[in-house]
Chains A and B, each alone.
Chain A
């Protein structure tokens, strides 16, 4: 069920109502059942998949933790990773690799290569819960984490419904202890949860879904052949659509978790106010970027083996991060642009003597305090980085690499229609409010609008957001963009 539908509202209300009337262990059992109902609502057949990978990981982790035999531990780790990544590869990448292999053969002169592609449904959230499972098993293997004692607790850690479909990807050392200990009802956390849900609904249904009308029209060619106006309209609209969509989803997920007494990590911090691409990745999809850093970039060697290897690792990490989003070369190019520019940024900052240590905390306030909003130079950097990110979004959104290049070639074609002006005003109406919200949140260091204001103002903001959602939601049954990843 989608977060912006009535059925989810009823589901969440019923779960929260029952939840706080139960004892801790009953809460866990009830939440696990609710999470499986939530997941089965998509397609009952996928329940077996998540249950199977959960059971395999649970027992592998316990066996790894109890063993001192390094070969056995490594074997068990391999089994777990093969099962998890095997499911992911089979369901998400099988056709992609078969098609790509056939294309390579054809380019080498082998014509009419018989390929077998399968019509496979992509289980929702498989990329997210697989990464969570991998993090768990790797942490247990490195003895950074004790394995879960209870299968129910581990299963709940993997399947807790607010994060199940599109994250934020929860770290085992953050969420598992919360599952393993009794939650206490915190009035502030509950209230903030409601505010986050309203904020998320506003971002998704008002901002993202309205911007999607323009982005979809531009990228599907309904505004005419690509030209400067349609390309800029399309990519600007998509930039705000995907930000509103995914940050809105994350807010609703975090808010839903808070109603149940859990805390999820922050996933977005005003990403379009980033002054460098490195800064952008400290603000955008933080749960993924930190996962990639800790479980891919650093194991690859990070920056410990010289500059050339560091650039290679950066590029490789972002290429794989791109491929994680979907089985399409467009995502690989998207990752390549980000990885390439991160390497360039690193080289430039190194030569100019401003290299920051890799261990710099992943917080944004140290980089861009609210004061920098009032000076010109950071704004030049912000505009430049925003447009670099937009360039990459073209590949992310386009149906194919060919279509993306067609959009880019459109930048050289000057054309105008009166409807473009209307679209621009429409886009302004639905994107500027999110930009202003980000400025206020950045300035005040808040997660949602007026988080630190007096209660009456917070209530007024919440009711105002609800009113805007009710009246201006675009009312499309759009799956959240990241649900398909």
Chain B
């Protein structure tokens, strides 16, 4: 550190007095503090005004969210079907094909957010309902592992999926440490903080377009076997909580099991837990049925796999909606 008693400055000819040096340092300190504040403030403005437009993923997600909030309220005829889920939905179901097959009888909309799990949607649906969404049916497509996950997507969920008023409950539900909980609360207030991972991803994808290939390869996969008697009670209680949220608004909850490459996907336990809660479950394709050639990365379906799964899903969905009296009880 420089001495504070004898200083010189390269920008001036004579040595500075201590008073002058302190005055300069005070100005520099303020400039640094203001500069940092401007960076933070500027990024908050960018996050609020630019991110959702600049990023294709964000654009799509925000559009789907807005559409989901209006479901059942914007005068579109037909039974209002809201399909929610994560990348298994995005890459496993050709949604345009599905919507076309359901025809005018259904007002089908999708709200997909990548890397989301059970708690994201428990509180995500609460926010959707609070903001006015009134679907007749909510179809949830999550893998059993996603149902069991003790986490959320992180700060992103706090900003984009959940109500601020729910965040303390989320922190309690997840048993968060006070440091994590305070970060979550902050993410609910600051869009920059909530979306900073997306901003970083946006920048890195421009620097390294192929980075996603490495991230896919290196992403953590839980290889622990799913023991039915262990997971069924957990699944049952989670399904019950989600059903309580939907039923409070007169909405029917239906689960859709994604077809995984690994046949030991725990979906039997999921179906049993749903059955115990009187919640309908659709499993058009049992995991392990499709060959590896129908998967992009051993987990997500590729285009061919998605087309085949969608073709199998459509009749199952139509049959379920045609025969299930609860689903046929159309609400006006």
Q: Which residues of A contact B (CB under 8 A)?
A: 1-2, 5-7, 41-42, 186-192, 194-195, 198, 213-214, 217, 220, 222-223, 417-419, 422-423, 425-426, 429, 447, 451-452, 454-456, 458-459, 462-463, 466-467, 470-475, 477
Residues of A with C-beta under 8 A to B4: 186-188
Q: A6 near B183 (CB under 8 angstroms)?
A: yes
Shortest CB–CB separation between residue B152 and chain A, in angstroms?
12
Q: B32 near A459 (CB under 8 angstroms)?
A: yes
Q: Given contacts A220-B220, A463-B36, are A471 and B43 in contact (CB under 8 A)?
A: yes
A454 to B36, CA, bound (A): 18
Q: B32 near A194 (CB under 8 angstroms)?
A: yes
Residues of B with C-beta under 8 A to A189: 1
Q: B219 near A222 (CB under 8 angstroms)?
A: yes
Shortest CB–CB separation between residue A212 and chain B, in angstroms?
11
Contact of B29 among A190, A423, A473 (CB under 8 A): A190
A/B interface sample: 7 pairs, CB < 8 A: A187-B25, A190-B29, A198-B36, A425-B208, A447-B1, A466-B36, A475-B154
* Residue B178, interface by CB 8 Å: yes
Q: A223 near B218 (CB under 8 angstroms)?
A: yes
* Residue B172, interface by CB 8 Å: no
Residues of A with C-beta under 8 A to B200: 471-475
| Chain B residue total in the interface (Cβ 8 A) | 52
Q: Given contacts A187-B29, A426-B208, are A466 and B35 in contact (CB under 8 A)?
A: yes
Most buried by B among A186, A187, A194, A451: A187
A292 to B277, CA, bound (A): 62
Shortest CB–CB separation between residue B258 and chain A, in angstroms?
22
Residues of A with C-beta under 8 A to B21: 188
Q: A7 near B183 (CB under 8 angstroms)?
A: yes
Q: Given contacts A187-B4, A429-B207, are A470 and B43 in contact (CB under 8 A)?
A: yes
Q: Given contacts A189-B1, A422-B211, are A477 and B32 in contact (CB under 8 A)?
A: no
Shortest CB–CB separation between residue B153 and chain A, in angstroms?
12
Q: Given contacts A459-B35, A475-B196, are A426 and B1 in contact (CB under 8 A)?
A: no
A470 to B11, CA, bound (A): 31
Residues of B with C-beta under 8 A to A455: 24-25, 27-28, 31
B186-225 at interface with A (beta carbon < 8 Å) = 186, 192-193, 196-197, 199-200, 203-204, 207-208, 210-211, 213-215, 217-221
Q: Specify the chain B residue showing the minimal Cβ separation from A447.
A: B1
Q: A214 near B9 (CB under 8 angstroms)?
A: no
Q: Specify the chain B residue showing the minimal Cβ separation from A423.
A: B214
Q: A454 near B39 (CB under 8 angstroms)?
A: no
Q: A419 near B213 (CB under 8 angstroms)?
A: yes
Contact of A477 among B26, B38, B183 (CB under 8 A): B183
A5 to B10, CA, bound (A): 37
Q: B35 near A462 (CB under 8 angstroms)?
A: yes
* Residue B33, interface by CB 8 Å: yes
Q: Given contacts A5-B179, A189-B1, A429-B207, are A463 and B39 in contact (CB under 8 A)?
A: yes
Q: B26 near A187 (CB under 8 angstroms)?
A: yes
A223 to B216, CA, bound (A): 10
A472 to B39, CA, bound (A): 13
Q: B155 near A223 (CB under 8 angstroms)?
A: no
Shortest CB–CB separation between residue A152 and chain B, in angstroms?
26
A218 to B213, CA, bound (A): 15
A63 to B91, CA, bound (A): 72
A455 to B211, CA, bound (A): 38
A469 to B204, CA, bound (A): 14
Q: B217 near A194 (CB under 8 angstroms)?
A: no
Q: Given contacts A7-B183, A217-B218, A220-B220, are A426 and B211 in contact (CB under 8 A)?
A: yes
Q: Given contacts A454-B10, A455-B28, A475-B200, are A463 and B43 in contact (CB under 8 A)?
A: no
Q: Specify the chain A residue showing the minimal Cβ separation from B199.
A: A471
Shortest CB–CB separation between residue B34 and chain A, in angstroms?
9
A466 to B35, CA, bound (A): 9
Residues of A with C-beta under 8 A to B192: 470
* Residue B182, interface by CB 8 Å: yes
Q: B179 near A2 (CB under 8 angstroms)?
A: yes
Q: B39 near A467 (CB under 8 angstroms)?
A: yes
Shortest CB–CB separation between residue B111 and chain A, in angstroms?
24
A244 to B214, CA, bound (A): 22
Residues of A with C-beta under 8 A to B14: none
User: Which 3 A/B pairs are nearest by Cβ-Cβ distance?
Assistant: A217-B218, A463-B35, A455-B28
Q: Specify the chain B residue showing the minimal Cβ separation from A190.
A: B29
Q: Given contacts A217-B218, A419-B214, A423-B214, are A5 and B182 in contact (CB under 8 A)?
A: yes
A58 to B329, CA, bound (A): 75
Shortest CB–CB separation between residue A244 and chain B, in angstroms?
16
Q: Specify the chain B residue showing the minimal Cβ separation from A11.
A: B182
Known: A455-B27, A470-B40. 13 other contacts (CB 8 A): A5-B179, A6-B183, A41-B178, A41-B179, A42-B177, A188-B2, A192-B1, A194-B33, A222-B220, A451-B1, A458-B28, A463-B38, A475-B200
Q: A426 near B214 (CB under 8 angstroms)?
A: yes
Q: Specify the chain B residue showing the minimal Cβ separation from A41.
A: B178
B32-52 at interface with A (beta carbon < 8 Å) = 32-33, 35-36, 38-40, 43
Residues of A with C-beta under 8 A to B27: 455
Q: A7 near B36 (CB under 8 angstroms)?
A: no
Shortest CB–CB separation between residue B135 and chain A, in angstroms?
33
Residues of B with C-beta under 8 A to A475: 154-155, 196-197, 200
A473 to B155, CA, bound (A): 14
